[in-house]
Structure 1
Amino acid sequence: MKKSIFSILLLNLGFSVFAQIPQGYYDAATGTSYTLKTQLHEIIKTNHVDRTYNGLKDLYKSTDPLNGFRDKYYENDNTVLDIYSENPTGRDPYNYIPGDNLGAGQEGGGYNREHLVPQSFFDEYRTNPMRTDAFHVWPTDGKVNGWRSNFAFGEVVNRNSASACNSGATNTPCKSLNGTTKGKYVYNDDITVVEPIDEFKGDIARAILYFTTRYEDMMPDFYRTTRSNSKVMFDGSRDKAISDEFLSQLLTWHVQDPVSQRELDINNLIYNYQGNRNPFIDNPEYAQRIWGTLSSTDFNYQERPDINVINTNNNSVIVELKNNDKKIDKVMVYNMNGQMVQENVNQYNQNKLEVKFQSKGIYIIKIVGNGLEVNRKVVIK
């Protein structure tokens, strides 16, 4: 039977409604550009409690309902949500139970604690709190973590031609079982990078933006003393911190992949654990206010055959789900600063929905539901 198209219930909501930001937490964040970055540095440095490295293992296996390090978003099986093995469109190639032994061996042989900004970058200062800061230390498969080594994150050239990684991931471009790819940087083939799957690019970008802000006062010394391959992501300055070659990449990922429920949960979990927050999760527009807007929005992102997004002539798009194993709960609309400007609830539980826009422009829509998180760019003319 042909299903009707229903417009989804539209709610105009400020993003911070969902993030549970403590009252007054960002009151001092009044500036722009690098003045704002320094203000945020002072805010998130204050009350940051230095936890132990072993404490991270307990954090990952916490039964707190806010524990975004466990899978409550895709399979919803409470296994470790590993960015290197999560398969958003089907069965994961392997799973880890929180509390499993840490390890490496072969892919799927054990998970460990990965520093998204590698420890080698702050080698001369390989101490807390950088080493134990949960905002950039995540549970990941040990073997893929080893393949990533201390290389930067970035977009890989010829990613679609990647084969499975050999034991040392020397056959680049190569990929893990969920498609995480290692190869040459699309903007500079002298640089080796690792490209995560689309679902986690914004998450990683915001973790790195957090790191450069939280450790703003230490970034020049990290850069001066390190020989880490990840050095290419940074420029040695306290203020801008991120190199031109990677700033556009991180800001693009930040906009393309808006803040997810997983990140909201992690932000609140870590706030309760170590006393500070990631401001780029709470207020995504801070990235634009500090580093400026994207020079180009000419990107395609996260193509999936089971989701169609079709423009109409009525300042709207039709979102069509072609997967009976999934369902749409809501569609959020984000502007190009990363701010959510609409939340659209699928009140009739339909698989073909019309999302109306209040004004013309370029937007990112995030389609979420049972085992579903898809982002698409939408242009309303």
Structure 2
Amino acid sequence: MKPRLILVTLLSFFLANSQAPAGYYNTATGSGYTLKTQLHKIISKHKDLGYGGLWQTYKTSDIDDFYEKDQSVLDMYSENPRGKDPYIFKMGSNQCGIYSAEGDCYNREHIIPQSVFNSAAPMVSDAHFIPPTDGKVNGKRSNFPHGNVASAKWTSENGSKLGSSAINGYKGIVFEPINEFKGDIARMYFYFATCYENKVAGYNYDMFNGTNHQVFTEAFKNMLLQWHKMDPVSEREKKRNNAIYKRQGNRNPFIDHPEFVEKIWGKASVVKTNTSKKTTINQTNTKSIQKTKTSPPIIATPNNTTGNVYFSAYIEGSGNNKALIITNGTSKSIDLGNYTIKKQTNGKGGWSNGLKVKSKLAPNQSLIILHPKSQLNCSYSNSLRLESTELEFNGNDPIGLFLNDKLIDCLGTFNDAKIFSENETLKRKKSNAIPSTNFNKSNWEILPINTCK
């Protein structure tokens, strides 16, 4: 081959396999949710090609050049990566349509269901999280979250499953794809959370926590982080990202830079995940995730003779109506700088890093700390609205009050996943106005949901 021809061939290869254009991520310099917002500004302004435009996009983004290499539709819900596919779809010819069984036709699968955002544009036609899939399997998945299945009640021909959840903290029905594509799907979720950061806090979905920063509940965040780790970015994803970029004008940054995921959301709080990608028809080999072993917290003994600082109320209301009230029961002013509020998600794993409250409390004064989007009608003069995971609690998330990293008061019981207070307000009885690391609900008055007086 002549040198010039070699150069042209190599240039063509690198262009075909290129990632983001030079400078595309120049402004993505931060970490945590700052980085997420920087990425949002880069990728959110893209072309809306319409719902019908997805069919055209699929002709370049979802061709099987990687398994059978037969130019058929590459469908995550029917592809068998280690053998013959149970059926194939010819691109453009087998679009749904009406279906009654697997293999009838393929349609457009919204990884985040349309109902979550009321089929609004541009989400409804964004190919980055809408791949082509078998119509029947798509229908079976319905609007259920993606997750790990404990007991399958239905299994597709390639081993995708619908059944009860094996996710700690979620008891509903979930849909589990085969291992080969779990990372692909996780990165679609991370893309959606980033691209639509300015909208997602208003979306109601079991996987979402009502915020625009973390976006996902702790349980689903950890699962997605596991899937991202166990199934790294593939050449197929890179090609798909490039093809969609040519059509829409934006990219999935978590395909170009997989390291951005942990820079934003951290690492999953689990010990091990199954990293095998071996999959056969009607069978997946996902192993049960080992539970993280946790040690009981160090406990400080309250000084009951002089009074103490303690939780005096806990509000687990509707939506974002979450609040905690801390009371200074001593005879001296207290600087809360030495105190930390920590959460144990779903009664499993370790305590969170903690929320430090910069405030001072006079003797017998209380401070109410509210979720930033709370709509509670409260009349406390001393109040704070803080954006923190510790204020995104549900009824089975133990909450601890720590003094110099020693637990002094606890709502719920550490390492107990049972619901201790849901859709109600707990007000500490005056007869038990002292901190306690042993939660006893009989020491609390139970008031109606969203009570804040």
TM-score, normalised relative to structure 2: 0.56
Partner residue of 2:22? 23
Task: Confirm or deny: 8 A CA contact 2:81 2:279 kept in the other structure.
Answer: no
Aligned partner of 1:139 among 127, 132, 138? 132
Using the TM superposition, name which of 286-295 and 145-154 deviates more: 286-295
Aligned partner of 1:186 among 166, 186, 195? 166
Q: Partners in 2 of 1:276 and 1:198 — Cα distance?
A: 27
Q: Which amino acid aligns with 1:49?
A: K
In the alignment, structure 1 residue 196 sits paired with structure 2 residue 189: no
Cα displacement (A) at 1:238:
0.8
Partner residue of 1:148? 141
Q: Which runs of 5+ in 1 are unaligned?
A: 1-16, 62-66, 163-171, 224-230, 307-381
Q: Partners in 2 of 1:305 and 1:127 — Cα distance?
A: 36
Rg larger for: 2
Partner residue of 1:219? 200
Q: Which amino acid aligns with 2:41?
A: E
Map 1:1-381 onto structure 2 (within 5 A): 19-46=18-45, 48-61=46-59, 67-100=60-93, 101-103=95-97, 104-123=99-118, 126-158=119-151, 162=152, 172=153, 174-187=154-167, 188=169, 190-223=171-204, 231-302=205-276, 304=278
* Change in 2 beyond 3 A, CA 1:290/1:145: same
Partner residue of 2:379? none
Cα displacement (A) at 1:191:
1.1
* Change in 2 beyond 3 A, CA 1:147/1:305: closer
Cα displacement (A) at 1:304:
3.8
Q: Which amino acid aligns with 2:75?
A: D
* Change in 2 beyond 3 A, CA 1:305/1:266: closer
Q: Partners in 1 of 2:42 and 2:277 — Cα distance?
A: 38
For residues 206-262 of structure 1, give each alpha carbon's deviation from its aligned partner in whole angstroms, at most 9, with x where no partner exists: 001000100001011223xxxxxxx11110101111111100000010011000001
Task: Confirm or deny: 8 A CA contact 2:180 2:277 kept in the other structure.
Answer: no
Q: SS at 1:75's partner residue?
A: coil
For residues 293-316 of structure 1, give each alpha carbon's deviation from its aligned partner in whole angstroms, at most 9, with x where no partner exists: 22234122326499xxxxxxxxxx
Aligned residues: 263
Q: SS at 1:182's partner residue?
A: strand
Q: Partners in 2 of 1:182 and 1:108 — Cα distance?
A: 18
Q: Which amino acid aligns with 1:69?
A: D
Q: SS at 1:193's partner residue?
A: strand
| Greater per-residue strand proportion | 1
Task: Confirm or deny: 8 A CA contact 1:19 1:282 kept in the other structure.
Answer: no
Q: SS at 2:211's partner residue?
A: coil
Q: Partners in 1 of 2:162 and 2:185 — Cα distance?
A: 16
Cα displacement (A) at 1:105:
1.7
Q: Partners in 2 of 1:156 and 1:19 — Cα distance?
A: 36
* Change in 2 beyond 3 A, CA 1:305/1:51: closer
* Change in 2 beyond 3 A, CA 1:297/1:265: farther
Partner residue of 2:10? none
Q: Which amino acid aligns with 2:103?
A: G
For residues 158-178 of structure 1, give each alpha carbon's deviation from its aligned partner in whole angstroms, at most 9, with x where no partner exists: 4xxx4xxxxxxxxx1x20000
* Change in 2 beyond 3 A, CA 1:212/1:189: closer
Q: Which amino acid aligns with 2:227?
A: W
For residues 123-175 of structure 1, give each alpha carbon's deviation from its aligned partner in whole angstroms, at most 9, with x where no partner exists: 1xx222100000011110001000000010000014xxx4xxxxxxxxx1x20
Task: Confirm or deny: 8 A CA contact 2:80 2:279 kept in the other structure.
Answer: no
Partner residue of 1:5? none
Task: Confirm or deny: 8 A CA contact 1:94 1:108 kept in the other structure.
Answer: yes
Q: Which amino acid aligns with 2:38?
A: Q
State the superposition RMSD in angstroms: 1.9
Q: Partners in 1 of 2:117 and 2:279 — Cα distance?
A: 42
* Change in 2 beyond 3 A, CA 1:208/1:56: same
Q: Partners in 2 of 1:34 and 1:305 — Cα distance?
A: 35
Q: Partners in 1 of 2:34 and 2:170 — Cα distance?
A: 34
* Change in 2 beyond 3 A, CA 1:295/1:28: same
Identity %, equivalent residues? 49
Task: Confirm or deny: 8 A CA contact 1:151 1:192 kept in the other structure.
Answer: yes
Q: Which amino acid aligns with 1:107?
A: E
For residues 40-97 of structure 1, give each alpha carbon's deviation from its aligned partner in whole angstroms, at most 9, with x where no partner exists: 0000013x01111111111212xxxxx3401111111010001111011111111100
* Change in 2 beyond 3 A, CA 1:92/1:35: same
Cα displacement (A) at 1:194:
0.3
TM-score, normalised relative to structure 1: 0.66
Q: Partners in 1 of 2:113 and 2:28 — Cα distance?
A: 28
Q: SS at 2:128's partner residue?
A: coil
